Amino acid sequence: MPAAPTREFLDADVLARLMNLPLVARGPMEGSVSGRHQSPHRGSSVEFAEYRKYVAGDDTRHLDWRVYARSDRFYMKEFEADTNLRCYLVVDTSASMGFSAEHGSKFAYARRLAATLGYLVMHQGDAVGLSLCADKMMKDIPPRRNPAHLKNVFDALAEAVPAGKTGLVAELHRLAEKIRRRALVLIFSDLFTEPAELLDCFRHLRFRKHDLAVFHLLDRQEVSFPFERPTRFVDMESTTGIVVEPGIIAPRYHETLAQYLETVRGGCREFGVDYRLVTTDQSVEKVIGDFLLARL
């Protein structure tokens, strides 16, 4: 009998403190049931939307009789519709996410972020789905509102192991085509791929009216490049290695990294993507708290 998957990536205290903060979509969502998120369709909530002229076939229950009494004309009174949220957690499980320094691997950090946010989403009655992507899709769990569904998501996260090359670009394109209704897509990745291809994915998702948030995860070592002695760096996604003198290439490394980050950040700004650069030495609670608060 296999051992039960652990839930060490969930911190009860963090969940308790974040429980009262809702995850709000930045645009109208299309859900299957009524919820707390704005819908693109007119509904029956208490939130007034607009007046429009009556046309044959309209439900006479929504006629504003007071306006008719004053103007002798038929106007329909419309209200905002509220619906539920469909949240897709896209976690990069390529080998590069397994890079680990002092504060654990990027994948472990991504797993904690995804699990916590998934729990919060499910707790506020929205649907949560999960995509684990490497060069070959490892797991694809469609969103469900059923709290029991959360177990599937957590199990998948617990069992995932970072390996292989990144399949983020292909997976995001696939999701953009697959998800027919507006949804919230949360991406947890180090984004080590071609920026142009990556931004193309983001544009694709945004074109399909999805709300998109990116948690760009980097290890502190990847940012500061603190090496001094000659070091042989081995690619985690292949067997390629290179011996370098860090003292010589460090300035150029920093320049290249800065250019890359600026490209990604600029692209996200252009396409309206909620971009968050996160290093793994930061507090998960604070990262999620800031994320949720910013969306209120």
Partner 1 sequence: MLWMLPLAALPVVIHLLNRMRYRSVSWAAMEFLFAATRQSTRQARLRHWLILLCRTLAVLAIILALARPLVGGWLGWAFSGAPDTVILLLDRSASMEQQIGQSPTTKRERAVKQLVAAAEQLHGASRLVLLDSGTRQPQEISSPAVLPDVSLTAATDAAADIPGMLETATEYVTANRCGRTEFWLASDFQASNWRPDSPQWKALAERMRALPQEVRVRLLGLTETAGDNLGVALRNVVRQKSGSEDVLDLTLEITHNRPGKMTFPLAVVVDGHRSVMDVTLMGEQMRLQHRVRLGDKKTGGWGWVELPPDSNARDNRAYFAYNPETHLRAVVVCDEPKLARLLQIATVPAPAVMNESADVVTSAALATVKWDDVALVPVAAEVPLPPELKSFAENGGVVVSFPGGKEYESAPADAPFRVTTWRQDDGPLAKTQAGLDLPVADLRCERRKVPTEDGVTLASFADGKPFLLRQQLGKGAVYYCATLPLREWSNLAEGTVLVPMLQRLMQEGGRRLGQVQEVFCGEDVATAPGESWKRLDVEKAGPVVPPPLEAGIYQAGSRIVPVNRPSAEDEPEVLDEAKVRALFGAVPVQLFEEKADHGGQLQSEVWRLVLVAALLFLIGEGLLTMAAARLESSPPEQPKPQEGAR
User: Are 52 and 26 spatial neighbours (Cβ–Cβ below 8 Å)?
Assistant: no
**Min CB(212)–partner 1 separation in Å:** 10
**Min CB(20)–partner 1 separation in Å:** 19
List 212's β-bridge partners, or say none: 185
> Is residue 134 close enough to count as binding partner 1 by CB under 8 A?
no
3-state secondary structure of 182: coil
> Is residue 40 close enough to count as binding partner 1 by CB under 8 A?
no
Contact pick of 42, 257, 263, 285 for partner 1 (by CB under 8 A): 257
Tokens of 83: 């619906």
**Min CB(276)–partner 1 separation in Å:** 5
> Is residue 200 close enough to count as binding partner 1 by CB under 8 A?
no
Contact set for partner 1, span 104-133 (CB under 8 A): 106
> Is residue 227 close enough to count as binding partner 1 by CB under 8 A?
yes
User: Are 285 and 114 spatial neighbours (Cβ–Cβ below 8 Å)?
Assistant: no
> Is residue 268 close enough to count as binding partner 1 by CB under 8 A?
yes
- Please report which helix (H) or strand (E) contains residue 189, including its range: strand 184-189
Q: CA–CA separation, 94 vs 104, rounded Å?
A: 16
> Is residue 224 close enough to count as binding partner 1 by CB under 8 A?
yes
Contact pick of 65, 90, 253, 284 for partner 1 (by CB under 8 A): 253
Nearest CA among 86, 65, 87 for reference residue 74: 65
- Cβ proximity to partner 1: between 143 and 162 the closer is 162
- The site that binds partner 1 (CB under 8 A) totals a number of residues, namely 65
User: Are 166 and 107 spatial neighbours (Cβ–Cβ below 8 Å)?
Assistant: no
Q: CA–CA separation, 138 vs 272, rounded Å?
A: 28
| Residue at 287: amino acid letter | V
Q: CA–CA separation, 206 vs 185, rounded Å?
A: 10
- Cβ proximity to partner 1: between 82 and 219 the closer is 219
Contact pick of 14, 29, 218, 284 for partner 1 (by CB under 8 A): 218
Q: CA–CA separation, 58 vs 56, rounded Å?
A: 6
CA 113 to chain centre: 10
> Is residue 277 close enough to count as binding partner 1 by CB under 8 A?
yes
> Is residue 151 close enough to count as binding partner 1 by CB under 8 A?
no
User: Are 35 and 126 spatial neighbours (Cβ–Cβ below 8 Å)?
Assistant: yes
> Is residue 225 close enough to count as binding partner 1 by CB under 8 A?
yes
- Please report which helix (H) or strand (E) contains residue 132, including its range: strand 127-133
> Is residue 272 close enough to count as binding partner 1 by CB under 8 A?
yes
- Cβ proximity to partner 1: between 180 and 229 the closer is 229
- Cβ proximity to partner 1: between 108 and 250 the closer is 250
Residues in contact with partner 1 by CB under 8 A are 26, 95-99, 106, 190, 192, 218-219, 222-225, 227, 229-237, 240-258, 260-262, 265-266, 268-269, 272-279, 282, 286-287, 290-291, 294
